[in-house]
Amino acid sequence: MLIRSKAPLRISFAGGGTDVRPFFDEEGGYVLNATINRHAWGSLRTRSDKRIRIESVDFGFSIDLDAQAQMVYDGKLDLVKAAIQNLCGQDSEGFDLFLQSDAPPGSGLGSSSTLMVTLVGLLREFKNLPLTDYETSGLAYSIEREHMGIKGGMQDQYAATFGGFNFIEFYRDHVVVNPLRISQDIINELEHNLLLCYTGQTRASDHIIDDQIQRYHQQNEETLSGLRHQKQLAVEMKRALLQRRLNEFGALLHSAWEYKKKMSARISNPRIDEMYAVALEQGAMGGKITGAGGGGYMLFYCKFDKKHRVAEALAKLGGIPNGVTFDPHGLQTWRVDET
């Protein structure tokens, strides 16, 4: 039996950081995001010898395990082991697992959490588990954030599972995913005007999240202001999209970046500041880091006749600019007949 799965990566427009505990437990969080045509991919092929082989293209190595033995967390694909333990238990059939993402960990596109959703989808299909999209998202979050203790938010798991443009609400005991009916001409215009640029460096988000959480516990005024304005900007950007006010959307993206930087001094750095300033000089209307900060991808909204100038200027600084294409589909899993 051969099972495949894929889930889309995402770009976050506003609200990132309000999906991190304890903020949304106490004040609620709002995030506006959309999935793009880059994916995490997975394949699972059953085998009869009670062995599990995991190959990760992103980390460049593979490991072999006994399907009937207790998982040992030793720093080698521990997230994958945790998913297998949670969904398959200790006495599982054997299988070969192959995993790959279109963006590296630390890219700011939610690649690690999206890969977890892809993996949960594979194992859900393998074990014939009747999990809803909400349950799949919640399980992926629980394995990554609670079981393994990896710091981060909650938006990525829900974005990857549901797909499309979503306004997501986070509360202490539940999550609400609101799919947005964005007209195709607005989607086309966004694809014309949006520019993704890889900064040339990935980042570990843990220390940024830790700093944000610590500042929140200390009731730091700048951090509180940044988080609360992120919530409001997510609402305003949603309205701008639904009401077809894209110039306002670009300006709000700039505001989202200004308030995001207030959440932690570690979100930006001199390289990111320079790239942002140059992009604005060349005609970008607004932009922001797409993840926790410190590196990864930046997103810019440009007038289409200025976008090539922005891209050229960023490339001269060592950035890698790319266009944006949206994917309306979330997690997909299917079986392949090899006969």
Catalytic residue set: 156
52 Cβ contact partners less than 8 Å away, ≥ 6 residues apart: 64, 65, 66, 67, 84, 92, 94, 95, 96, 97
Nearest by Cα to 265 from 228, 211, 199, 204: 211
Query: Are the CB atoms for 246 and 273 separated by under 8 Å?
Result: no
Plot region of 74 (φ>0 → left; ψ -120 to 50 → alpha; else → beta): alpha
Neighbour order of strands in the sheet with 194-198: 284-289, 297-302, 194-198, 320-322
Helix (H, G, I), strand (E, B) or coil at 198: strand
Q: Contact, 333 vs 125, CB < 8 A?
A: yes
Give the whole-angstrom CA distance, residue 28 versus residue 21. Answer: 10
